[in-house]
Chains A and B, each alone.
Chain A
């Protein structure tokens, strides 16, 4: 169905919409519309099953302030963001610096460090749940092998360690991404800058702070923006490893939302939690989205 036109730019301003429509239609039906109706449900006391529900205004939102699990979840989300940004970014940067230097076997090393990043989160959760097994897990076995039996723990089974134990695999899987971005960015820094710095007698440390770090600015920005957006979405790993437990020790907003909707049949309250996460995620992501929307010089 080739649309042949002798004089294109003149008429048919609606034509671009023919190209846009399929994707926009799907986007609106399966993302925009559901998001907006979630907002609506969050003002109701709907249980998710029965046809009837009442509008309760902001009650669901007010209830969050007195829900101790929401406080735990919000705190856990914050810790999660912090830990799964700081560690992957610093380790990733260090690895990128090393792999950008004179090291042999770079392609293989890059492959190894990024590999966890392509695995399904559920499989990563399975792997680490298996490593953390109190009796036959490799981690406790390793501790007793090196004579640190006292440190062996039921890592996922107790409040004091569970959240940290779930974050370790998250760091493991997320380090490869900043590493790759930084590697690409490092290769974009002109070597003349280093030469000039050396001529001026700058130490390696000075070179790092005054040449490397500024040269990585856009990589820092992308890594931080994407990590931040991502960390508010955490669900799979926690759900597959601990279901939010023991007790509520590892609940995050996502798992608590899920529990309310699908276990406690409080769809109204659950969607209100989802709305809050979404608002935070959007607020955090807007600068990134704007930066991508801005016109760039062609």
Chain B
């Protein structure tokens, strides 16, 4: 997971006024150049699409860069069945639904304590938690594997939740606490005068006011959870329990000689996340870039 920036402002990067001096003209040439580069940039995905909708014989006969002379959906059907995608999608979705809201909630609670409650050893806790951003998963896999084996939780999607939560917390807390800190103290004081306790303040004031930050963190955490590979590779072994990335790796091995089927399978794996990204990019982009504007 790349995705780590501290972020008080969680608004999307508004396509605001360019700071660069407007040059008056010459926009067209640059547009053409950068469009060509962009086409080149997505050519792997475009090629995947073109390949996935043609029969294997057509692909082999005419070469990968030829325009398809026949058209078929069969590759998708084959890939879907053999690649076990129904199962891996289900497992990844289950993990997402269980892990992400829980992770965001407990991170928000910790973020609230760090930002707005007078907590002892606050900076020590902050430092220790943020340090987690730098720590590679490798360092934990052997002990986590043993813990899970002892607890009988290997080869279970549920067993992934603990380690996923732990490795998601540093980023979520980093973003949320810096957002919470910007909420004006006057609101809290007023609420306290009205007799509200910390817990009520957290639910009724902090969370509703922090909707943009919560959305950002939720989406970025969902992307990271959906894409995680190493823990899933180590902790899951039966096909019935694999997540999408691990399933895809298997599939890739099985389909290595069937180029069109492989293309269809990869597309099955990536298209939903590309669609989700396109729809949600405002928040993804906002979350990633917000830190840059801070001094």
> Of all chain B residues, which has the CB nearest A241?
B252
| Number of inter-chain CB pairs below 8 Å | 367
* Complex Cα gap A3–B223 (Å): 35
Residues A97 and B136 in contact, CB atoms below 8 Å apart: no
Residues B110 and A109 in contact, CB atoms below 8 Å apart: no
* Complex Cα gap A290–B130 (Å): 9
Binds A, one of B68-76, B208-216, B284-292: B284-292
Assuming the contacts A23-B173, A229-B133, asked whether A112 and B41 have C-beta atoms less than 8 A apart, the reply is: yes
Chain B residues close to A by CB (< 8 Å): 2-6, 13-23, 26-27, 30-31, 33-35, 37-38, 41-42, 44-45, 47-48, 59-60, 63-65, 106-107, 109-110, 112-114, 117-120, 123, 125-144, 147, 162-163, 165-167, 169-170, 173-174, 178, 181-182, 192, 195-200, 202, 223, 226-227, 229-230, 233-234, 244-246, 248-249, 252, 259, 262-263, 266, 269-270, 273-274, 277-278, 281, 284-285, 288-295
Assuming the contacts A145-B65, A230-B2, A235-B230, asked whether A277 and B136 have C-beta atoms less than 8 A apart, the reply is: yes
* Complex Cα gap A115–B37 (Å): 14
Main secondary structure of the interface of A (DSSP, over half): helix
> Of all chain A residues, which has the CB nearest B126?
A293
Residues on A with beta carbons closer than 8 Å to the beta carbon of B274: 115, 118-119
Contacts of A183-229 to chain B: CB distance below 8 A: 183-191, 194-195, 198, 207, 215, 218-219, 222, 226, 229
Residues A222 and B291 in contact, CB atoms below 8 Å apart: yes
Q: Indicate the size class of the contact surface on chain A.
A: 35 or more
Residues B293 and A233 in contact, CB atoms below 8 Å apart: no
Residues B227 and A188 in contact, CB atoms below 8 Å apart: no
Q: Which of A122, A141, A186, A190 is in CB contact (< 8 Å) with B63?
A: A141
Decide yes or no whether A68 CB sits under 8 A from chain B. Answer: no
Assuming the contacts A27-B129, A123-B269, asked whether A38 and B142 have C-beta atoms less than 8 A apart, the reply is: yes
> Of all chain A residues, which has the CB nearest B42?
A112
Residues A133 and B259 in contact, CB atoms below 8 Å apart: yes
* Complex Cα gap A132–B37 (Å): 20
Chain A residues close to B by CB (< 8 Å): 1-6, 8-9, 13, 15-20, 22-24, 26-27, 29-35, 37-38, 41, 48, 95, 97-123, 126-131, 133, 136-138, 141-142, 145, 172, 174, 177, 180-191, 194-195, 198, 207, 215, 218-219, 222, 226, 229-230, 232-233, 235-236, 239-240, 254, 257-258, 261-262, 267, 270-271, 273-275, 277-278, 281-282, 284-286, 288-290, 292-293, 296, 298
**Least Cβ–Cβ distance between A119 and chain B, in angstroms:** 5
Residues B142 and A271 in contact, CB atoms below 8 Å apart: yes
Residues A270 and B142 in contact, CB atoms below 8 Å apart: yes
Residues B284 and A122 in contact, CB atoms below 8 Å apart: no
